Structure 1
Amino acid sequence: MLNAKLLVLCGFALATVSEATICSSLENNVDYSGADIGNAPSASANGCCSICSTTNGCNAFAWTNYNGGTCWLKSSKGTSKATSGTVSGSLQASPQTCPLENNIDYTGTDIGSARSASANGCCSICSSTNGCEAFTWTNYNGGTCWLKSSKGTSKATNGAVSGIL
């Protein structure tokens, strides 16, 4: 029973972490040489992605069929080297997503502005701006994000798109 609970908890942890990261396209017959931080058994290169995403300091991996399948965990991609039978990949952060409200302006609480062609772009800009918790996008000047310290008051405004982190 204890093993079943641990398995469920481990599965939940893997699912939670894997949502935050994605693996780049796998590269067949390529080894990211150097930058090794450890290794772990895995039957496939896809399994290495999950293992790497739950290992501190792991940003890339190379899989070989050594010992029935081994992930060579790496701190970086290092140097790409043609190596028959090796499959390599790297982790990438998932794009930031924010819940959006169409035709709504969050009035007040402005902390700055930035150009963006879309409201989704504002989400990324806001997430990398200190103190930004919300934004309103308008088509002003080809697309402008109005960055906010908080949601503020919602006001119906045709064409505006607002979101929070």
Structure 2
Amino acid sequence: MKNKLISLNILFSILKQVVLIEWNYDLQNKLFWAFDCDFDGNDMTNVRMNGETCGPTCSRTTGCTHFAWSKYQDGTCWMKYGVISKTNAKTIQGRGFVCGTVEINDPGNGGPSQNNVLATRHGATEMGACELPRSDYAVNLPVALGNIDSLGYLKFDGKYCGQILRIDCGNGDLDIIVTNSNLGGGLDLYGSTWDLATNSKPPGETRCSVKLTNRNMLKSSGYECFHSTGETNNLYYRNIGLFNTNGKLVVGAKFKGADGAHRGNNGYWAFDGYGTENDQVVFYFQDGSNHAVFLRDCKNGSNKQIWS
């Protein structure tokens, strides 16, 4: 009887936690949120910000599936990853916590799907605007990414160079790599990609769903830094990019306190000014985190991959 009473008390405590959490829905950012709750573990990154921007920031951050905000350090957003349910939230009474989940909870596949996106066949053989280095790629099916409205958050930007997208054009899911820009268009699928995506339809137009994944472009694991040019020892000019980031989007870079600049539609950041191989470049991700790389660890990426 005593063991049964203990079990009932535990069950009542769990049910009480669930009932106490009153969930709200943010239609604009497509997420659920609530006061006085938290999620244990699976921290991806944390960023100081106010509570109102924590959930929307998570919804825009690749890989973030749920979040928690506390008053720590005048407001800290803890972005989290992994399969989650609202029932996994625990109550934290009287301490000003906020927690929530992103409605499109697809941690293995990056961002939400964009549907009914125009796709055409791209017939060229070229290195493309992204100028990706020759290497051992995990995905070899290229796309020139456009900027039409139906692409939504996936409108072309240099941060998407080398990122892996998952498309379905009626012939099943297919992972492709962004190698080029196609401003004014949608998904401009190279010949090899078009044939697999459409089951070898004649060149023309089709419609696809597309989303960002968390896959790496290279077979190697971990971040990879490349010099865009062969000038790896140039003390006064650097043009470098960070790739193989598991879907994390690079949105900025600094070298010796100076911001890098894009000189083309690619994922490289250019810096003018004196520096040595023992200096570091800090790359900043869309989720608020960053990663520092010594220049000596950046590879020569002047030999470009050719895509067709």
| TM-score with structure 2 setting the length | 0.22
* Structure whose residues are more often helix by fraction: 1
| TM-score with structure 1 setting the length | 0.39
* Structure whose residues are more often strand by fraction: 1
